[in-house]
Amino acid sequence: MTRYRIIFSGSGGQGLVSAAIILAETAVMHENLEAVQSQSYGAAARGGATRADVIISDGPINLPKVFQPGILICMTQEAYNKFSNLIRPGGLLIVDSKFVKTTQRVDARQVELPLHQTVMDEIGNPVVLNICVLGALIGMCGIVKKSSIEKTLAEKFPPAFMAGNQMALDIGFEMGFEHAE
């Protein structure tokens, strides 16, 4: 039984909860997997660091929260400071190189990607950053097929958004794929 335990973390406006939902929804709707998604709510969410948890598995999932993520994505310094110590030994830590200075030493593979920079350079609109993150994640780790993500995006967004999303997904996927093990 494969089981992915992923935390997306960053700040409120970055759309990381959406990214988490898209990922989990794709697993369930298009890959016949089980997935559970949850997130932090409330004052914690309005101010400081957001966090969205995703567990994906080919068998039933009982616990809905991630305690030790195998994959941790940090899109702000604050998120990195708060969550990086949670990571499972030998896990994967993805950070945006613009926002995060990786200071802590963690027993995990740390990958720093210039996601924000690239999105701004090539698309010029930060709203698709979250899709780019998603692209990088699946480029690096698989989890679900890129085409499945595309299906979900097509279902959830109006056609006008498709081009931007697709570009962001592709950019992210490529950057991630380079770091795939």
Partner 1 sequence: MGKNIAFVQGNEACALGAMYAGLDFYAGYPITPSTEIAETLAVKLPAAGKKFIQMEDEISSMCAIIGASLTGNKVMTATSGPGFSLMQEALGYAVMTEIPCVVVNVQRGGPSTGNPTHVSQGDVNQARWGTHGDHSIVALTASNHQDVFRMTVEAFNIAETYRTPVILLFDETVGHMREKLVIPKEGSIPLVQRLRTSVKEGVNYHPYLPREDGRLPMSDFGGAHRYNVTGLYHDMWGFPTDKPEVVQELLKHLIDKIENNAHKITFHRSYYLEDARTVLISYGSAARSALSAVEQLRNRGQRIGLLELNTIWPFPAQLVRESTRGVNLVGVVEMNVGQLTQMVKLAVGKPKKVSLINRVDCQMITDKDIKKVLRVLQGRGV
Partner 2 sequence: MDVKHYLRERFFPHIWCAGCGHGIVLNALIRAVDELQIKKKEMVMVSGIGCSSRISGYVDFHSLHTLHGRALAFATGVKMGKPELNVIVPMGDGDALAIGGNHFIHAARRNINITAMVMNNRTYGMTGGQYSPLSGIGIKATTAPYTNIDRDFDTVELATAAGATFVARTTVYHVKQLQDFLKKAIQHNGFSMVEILTQCPTYFGRKNKKGSAVDMLQSFKDGTVPIGSDKKKENPELIERGIFVDKELPEYCQAYERIVEIATGR
Nearer to partner 2, 78 or 96 (CB): 78
Q: Work out whether 34 is an interface residue with partner 1 (CB under 8 A).
A: yes
Q: Work out whether 154 is an interface residue with partner 1 (CB under 8 A).
A: no
Shortest Å distance, C-beta 84 to partner 2: 23
Q: How far is CA 54 from CA 6, 103, 171, in A?
A: 5, 25, 22
Q: Work out whether 19 is an interface residue with partner 1 (CB under 8 A).
A: no
Site residues for partner 1, 50-79, by CB under 8 A, read: 61-65, 67
Among 3, 44, 117, 125, binds partner 1 (CB under 8 A): 44
Nearer to partner 2, 13 or 114 (CB): 13
**Of 43-51, 85-93, 116-124, 133-141, which part binds partner 1 (CB under 8 A)?**
43-51
Q: Work out whether 41 is an interface residue with partner 1 (CB under 8 A).
A: yes
Shortest Å distance, C-beta 8 to partner 1: 13
- Residues lying near partner 2 in the complex (CB under 8 A) are found at 12, 43, 46-47
- CB atoms under 10 Å from CB of 146, counted, come to 17
- CB atoms under 10 Å from CB of 45, counted, come to 16
Contact positions vs partner 1 (CB under 8 A)? 21, 24-25, 28-30, 32, 34-45, 61-65, 67
